[in-house]
Homo-oligomer: A and B are copies of this chain.
Amino acid sequence: MIVAKIQWKGGTLLSPLPAVLVTCGEGENANVLTVAWTGILSSDPPRMYISVRKERHSHGIIANTREFCVNLTTRELARAADLCGVKSGRDGDKFALAGITKAPSFAVKCPSVAESPLTLECRVFDIVESGSHDIFTADIVAVSCEESLIDANGRLMLEKAGLIAYAHGEYFTLGERLGGFGFSVRKKAKK
């Protein structure tokens, strides 16, 4: 199949991406912001990153405390995720504004989002400058998960969490399940 293509200069069109609620700080200085520039860096040790603009309120908090939590977002959290991406913590308590609740984390001092089905608790190991953004690379030191998402065999049923994705400026639910990792090989073996 030959498809006509057009060319642009470089741009940040990777899609879909997660749109996660990142929590940081402590007590009255706790804050939450939404980040799509995030990803896993390595499996062993489990490491991830978030990229945050230098001018964002949370930038200084994370640079000082060197801790943050990445809270996965769902259909129910879509409005909060959007709001925490638009508003600044300098304008007031974004937890209250977004209608989300601070919950204690297990391994870090900054709060988690109680309403999030799954939280990755992170400790920064490096801050790398990259133009508009600073890249906070971090060890994932603990994961917390809604108990109701664990089945009787201890398996995580993340497909029941109602996760959302961010693609080209829009939020989407996840739709039809197309197959599990390795499905292409398993189908072939059956023939």
Contacts and interface: CB of A to CB of B under 8 A. Distances in A.
B135 A13 contact: no
A109 interface: no
Given A175-B175, A178-B172, A15 B12 contact: no
Interface in A49-104: 49, 51, 70, 72, 75, 78-80, 82-83, 85-87, 101, 103
Point out which of A39, A103, A132 has the most chain B C-beta atoms below 10 A from its C-beta: A39
Interface in A1-57: 1-18, 20, 36-49, 51
A107 B110 CA distance: 44
Nearest to A46: B10
A98 to B, nearest CB: 8
B44 A132 contact: yes
B171 A178 contact: yes
Contact of A9 (B39, B142, B150): B142
A168 B140 contact: no
Chain A interface residue number, banded? 35 or more
B177 A171 contact: yes
Interface of A: 1-18, 20, 36-49, 51, 70, 72, 75, 78-80, 82-83, 85-87, 101, 103, 106-107, 112, 114-115, 118-121, 130-133, 135, 137, 139-148, 150, 156, 158-159, 163-165, 167-185
Question: Nearest 8 A-B pairs (CB), nearest first?
Answer: A39-B39, A175-B175, A10-B140, A173-B175, A42-B130, A158-B168, A42-B133, A82-B184
11 contacts: A6-B144, A7-B107, A10-B45, A13-B143, A14-B72, A37-B40, A41-B130, A43-B131, A83-B185, A159-B168, A174-B175
